[in-house]
Amino acid sequence: SFMTDNFRSQQQKFLRVKTAYDEKEKSVTELFSSKGIDISAMNIFIRAFKKEAQLEIWAKSSKQEKFQLIKTYSICASSGTLGPKRKQGDGQVPEGFYEIDRFNPSSNFYLSLGVSYPNASDRILGEKGNLGGDVFIHGNCVTIGCMPLTDDKIKEIYLMAVEARSNGQAKILVHIFPCIMDESGMKYLEKEYKDNPKFISFWKNIQQGYEYFEKNKILPAISVLSNGEYSVK
């Protein structure tokens, strides 16, 4: 439709976005078609693991039900430790269920995609009035509480997100986990953080979202209960 095509053309007025298209459009389009997905009709989902320093792009065409893994990127620097972000200045990368809420075509870090921290859960569980914000997936390789991927890689991811939004995808979801939350990942967390029962119960809660997607390759419906816990269906 006119409105969504317009999003792409508005973004391409910015030199860095235009450069990203000049350099990456052909290879990204080929990457998607190699997976049987038409870039002009695709939706994406972003999943990140802090311990493994990996960010995954999953996608499906609008006709498909299940997502498939398109590409895994290395996050090139990190700050903080495993565990959720609970206040401004803690250096933490958030953990939980978010979406892309901003496209920044002239970021201090080349290009950046804003992550919707603090979400409803963070506002209940975090430090009231001092939650902080400004969490981004961005270029460059420096970070405090963000996920930097280098300028070269952010060009691809930013282009994918612009295309998905242009295709009418209003919500690009971003799930951020402390680690790959399979059996061995959970054992690691329970052993390393045995003195922190609050983190362990938080991780058992978000693991439900990890497991649902792993099993079904469909995004779960997630809501937030009054105690700040996620309900995953």
Beta pairing partners, 98: 174
Q: Which residues form the catalytic set?
A: 138, 146
- C-alpha 185: how far from its chain's center? 19
How many whole angstroms separate alpha carbon 62 and alpha carbon 44? 10
